[in-house]
Each structure stands twice: as C-alpha cells, then as structure tokens.
Amino acid sequence: MKPDDPLLKILVCPLDKGPLILVPAGDALYNPRLRRLYPVTDGIPQLLPSSGRQVTDDEHARLREVRGAAAVKPADPAPSP
C-alpha cells in the first residue's frame, strides 16, 4: 500500500473508528490511540478486529517517532438531507 492510495482516505480503525497511520514500509496500518497494528497483505488492509495486534511500549514509541508516516484521515461525513 502506498501513501497516495485513495483508499487511505476512507479507512478507519474497526474498533474506535478513528484515523490510522500508514507504516512507512506500507505493510501495516497503525492506530496509536489503541496501540493496535493491522497488517496489509498483498496491498489489502486486514481491518478485522481480530487481525490487529497490540504493540509493545517500545514498538509504540518507534512507530510514533517515524518520520514520513502519513496520518490517514477519515472521510468527511455526508451532509444531512
């Protein structure tokens, strides 16, 4: 998965529905609020709650410090009719 992938604009964490961070290698999406890492397999994000794993304190610190990780923001909600 690449940082300019349009799919990243609509992907959210399945647990808290918040934005995710694409790990620079492009092989995972990270939720720093819940400290959960979701794999990306063959370019397909695995966003089932059971697919994510908790990261250690050291991993969390490393993932937060990585420069170049793009925050993925959720799509704007549709206006009410």
The pLDDT score that the predictor gives to residue 15 is 96
The pLDDT score that the predictor gives to residue 36 is 95
Domains and CATH numbers, the chain: 6-72 (2.20.25.10)
- Regions of the chain short of the pLDDT cut 70: 66-81
The pLDDT score that the predictor gives to residue 70 is 44
The pLDDT score that the predictor gives to residue 80 is 52
The pLDDT score that the predictor gives to residue 26 is 79
pTM attached to this predicted model = 0.74
3-state secondary structure the chain: CCCCCHHHHCCCCCCCCCCEEECCCCCEEEECCCCEEEEEECCEECCCHHHCEECCHHHHHHHHHCCCCCEECCCCCCCCC
The pLDDT score that the predictor gives to residue 81 is 55
